[in-house]
Amino acid sequence: MLVTPFDKDGRINFTALGEEIAWCVRNGAKGIVVTPSIGEFAVLSKSERVQCLEFCKDYADKRYPDLYLIATIASTNTPETIEYAHIALSLGYDAGQLNPPYYWIPSKEEVYEYYAAVATAELPIVVYDNPMLSKFDITARLAGRLAKIPGIIAMKEVKTDRQRELEPLFQAIRGRVKVYTTFRAFTTGMWLGSSGGFINVFALPFCVKMWNMYQTGDLRAYRHMEEIQSMVNTVFPRGGENNPNHIGTTKMAARVVTDIPMGAPRAPYRLPEHWVEEELRAKLPQLQELISRGNT
């Protein structure tokens, strides 16, 4: 999942955005999500969102034609979301990601009708559940219903509790659609049968390492995977669930890991205090050393 880099004047830095896509591919990404939550879609103008979609599609087509492209098409209402779906479809995106409508909290039936309506736009849909940001929790039962809607192909889940949240989710979906988890529950998702993860750019190399190790079927590799998972969760500050500086922390971490200038979040949001970055830089070498072990 891409952050949207800004320059010192708060404008989109398309040079850095292209560098970010290239960095993701070099580090093993099979696809990208354009303007997701960490890409600040909610504070971008319509024109900026479309420019990002156009740029990323053009950049990928010229360099990485096999890269799977997902557009964030979320908004606060059905007509506008369908409009973004049509734009993404016309540009040639492979799928659209959207969370439930935000600001006013919808009912379960309103959320179901929202996804059912957007799915008629012919763009394959990824359901995105991030209750701390959208203020709506897609329960396992509702996820099971959504998975039956034609046109919905996958679900991206950020919740991390295996017993209370993830196991019921996988049981309710019954393999009808693919499930992707956050980097914080990446190994848990794999044990339950996920198809991988929608991963914040800064955590990408570490999750790719775990995914490749998982494919070996080696018990020793599984133990190493869990070491990496624990270290990832220790090194990177918590996100939207527990961190008021969520988007600023994300952009800072992305810059530190990729060495690409990401800029500050759009006002009023801010970068975290300097000590947060210093703490991350102090811990990161331990994680990098951990993933360097072995040849997997």
Nearest to 179 by CA among 152, 199, 155, 198: 155
Q: Which of 84, 128, 180, 214 is catalytic?
A: 128
Q: Is 178 a catalytic residue?
A: no
- Torsion, CA 152, CA 154, CA 159, CA 160, rounded to 10: 160
- Can you read off the two tokens belonging to residue 115? 């996804």
Q: Which secondary-structure segment (H or E) carries 175?
A: none
Pairing of strands 152-157, 125-129: parallel
Query: Cα separation of 74 and 98, whole Å?
Result: 4
- Can you read off the two tokens belonging to residue 280? 């991350």
**Burial of 45 from C-beta contacts in 10 A (0-12 / 13-18 / 19+):** exposed
Q: Is 156 a catalytic residue?
A: yes
Residue 98: φ, ψ to 5°? -155, 140
Nearest to 200 by CA among 281, 262, 292: 262
Helix (H, G, I), strand (E, B) or coil at 213: helix
Residue 107 near residue 145, CB atoms below 8 Å: no
Q: Which of 93, 115, 156, 180 is catalytic?
A: 156
Length of the chain equals 296
Tokens 């701390």 found at: 132
Q: What DSSP assignment string belongs to 50-62? A: HHHHHHHHHHHHH
Rg, Å, the chain Cα set = 18
Terminal-to-terminal C-alpha distance of the chain: 24
Query: Cα separation of 100 and 102, whole Å?
Result: 6
- Kindly list the catalytic residues: 128, 156
